[in-house]
Amino acid sequence: MKIAIYSRKSRETDSGQSIKNQISMCKNYFKIYCENPVFNVFSDDGFSGSNTNRPAFQNMMLLAKQKSFDIIAVYKIDRIARNITDFFSIYKSLEKYNIKIVSVTENFDPSTPIGKMMMTMLAGFADMERENIRQRVKDNLYELAKLGRWSGGKTPYGYKSVKINENGKNNYYLELIPTEKEKIQKIFELALSNIPYHIANQFSLNGKTIINIIRNPVYMISDNLGSAYLKKNGFKVFGEPNGKGFIAYNRSRNSSSKLVAIGKHEGCVSSELWIKANIKLNDRAKVHKPRISEKTFLGNICKCACGAPLHVASSRIKSNGKREYFFRCKNHRIDKTKCNFISFPVKKAETEILNMLHLFLENNSLLEKYLKASTSITDISKLKEEILELKNKINNLNNKMNEFTEKLLLLNGSALTIINNKINDLANEITTLNTELLSKENKILELSHANVNTKLLISKIKTELETLTSDNSIQDKQAIIRSLFTDITIDEYGKIFFNFNDVI
């Protein structure tokens, strides 16, 4: 008999049997009741039973689909799942593969009605216990916060966690790092007249770090004004103001869960300054201003060939005291598997575009060739991708309709009506997609045979190029670029394509 042994140990608690003991108990159980058992062990050490996103468990379930074993053995049912919904989903899947679950310490046969009932009850108790554990952890954190203790996690910027023995028990509190106090005070002062990212550059910090500092009540010296402001903004406030800082808990959650308590650590800024800085930050967030790049006249018009915008990033300051700037793809920054575009020098992009405009003025026929080529590269290429996608959708819907048509031969009565209605719905959807497909194919023909008039465009390039090469501000040059181009695309190989506003 082939037996999969699944063991799990959660990070949440040190109680219960170790991984090694769980495996040993399962093996001993089957050595008594089975002849020549073959074991396959799966262990997840440090994973909670609150969900099924566990590597060894997922691997075991994949092998279960292949019927690689007859039984899954566990020390207790809650090793499989502490969530009753997850448990029943798992149980139903294994039942479909004809694989039994056996709990070696809870001693019941899941193939009988009583065994199934017992398994349901145990899974329900495990689900309830998980919720109880979660609530106890939450309650403990609240109590720690109310006492002014540090509840753990990443310490706020400028503070460290210190251990203090109280009545024979180690408790943790925040302690201000003296050398950081002046810097934190300066950050709040600058916040009244500067945006976070400008402040960040002065202190070699990340812009988000500056925002987190300003938002965190831990830096505010507690008084009645500060308490009143926090209450007004959805915080529950525990304790009487004493001139110390606040301990914040759960401040990123919804307003009904946010809590602050009077701490025992030294605050850095007055409540008046903290409140003003936060009001200023809130006001900036409400006012939407168009972003204007201060580094290049190509700012906010360039995009990657993958479709994502290109943002301007800077290198470190070099020995000559200067920085270099590069275009980088937003998709590549978030997920490198989405796009291969790494970076492209901003100066190089500016130079190549200006050179190309000069070439167009010197050779008008070159501009005509480029307009035709760029049309085929951008609009036609995009349309072809959309057409391919439509054809795939139509093909998939046709396959579904064929499957339903085959089922008609085996059905009668109300089932026949349901399937017939589904076939009609699919046919209508296919007709709609075919109409869209025909429209896009006709559009390609129009673009391929478009007549391009270059006279007006050449005149415009000549006028605007003089301004682009002058000492005008970046903002003025950006306005000119937008009047010339609808967009500028740079691909991963450094090739630049652009579409003019007045092309056809």
Residue 4 to residue 18: CA distance in whole angstroms: 18
User: Is the distance from CB of 327 to CB of 310 less than 8 angstroms?
Assistant: yes
Tokens of 102: 């056996």
Say yes or no to pLDDT of 196 above 80.
Answer: yes
**Mean of per-residue pLDDT scores for the chain:** 79
Q: Which pLDDT belongs to residue 77?
A: 79
Q: Which pLDDT belongs to residue 316?
A: 80
Pairwise pLDDT comparison (51 vs 61), residue with the higher score:
61
Q: Which pLDDT belongs to residue 204?
A: 86
Tens-place pLDDT, residues 392-446: 888 888 778 777 666 655 556 666 667 667 776 777 787 777 777 766 766 665 5
Residue 100 to residue 116: CA distance in whole angstroms: 11
Confidence of residue 213 (pLDDT cuts 50, 70, 90): very high
In the chain, the domains with their CATH numbers are 2-140 (3.40.50.1390), 159-286 (3.90.1750), 354-500 (no CATH)
Query: Left, alpha or beta for 119 (phi > 0: left; psi -120 to 50: alpha)?
Result: alpha
pTM (2 d.p.): 0.38
Q: Which pLDDT belongs to residue 473?
A: 78
Residue 468 to residue 451: CA distance in whole angstroms: 29
Indicate the residue type of 40: N
Q: Which pLDDT belongs to residue 290?
A: 47
Tens-place pLDDT, residues 67-98: 899 999 998 878 887 766 677 778 878 888 89
Say yes or no to pLDDT of 6 above 70.
Answer: yes
Tens-place pLDDT, residues 310-360: 888 888 887 777 888 899 988 888 888 878 888 899 999 999 988 988 888
Please calculate the CA angle 94-96-97 and round it to the nearest 5 degrees.
Answer: 65
Residue 292 to residue 298: CA distance in whole angstroms: 10
Pairwise pLDDT comparison (447 vs 435), residue with the higher score:
435
Give CA separation, 12 vs 257, 481, 491, in Å.
22, 57, 48
Give CA separation, 126 vs 87, 104, 270, 360, 498, in Å.
10, 16, 48, 74, 61
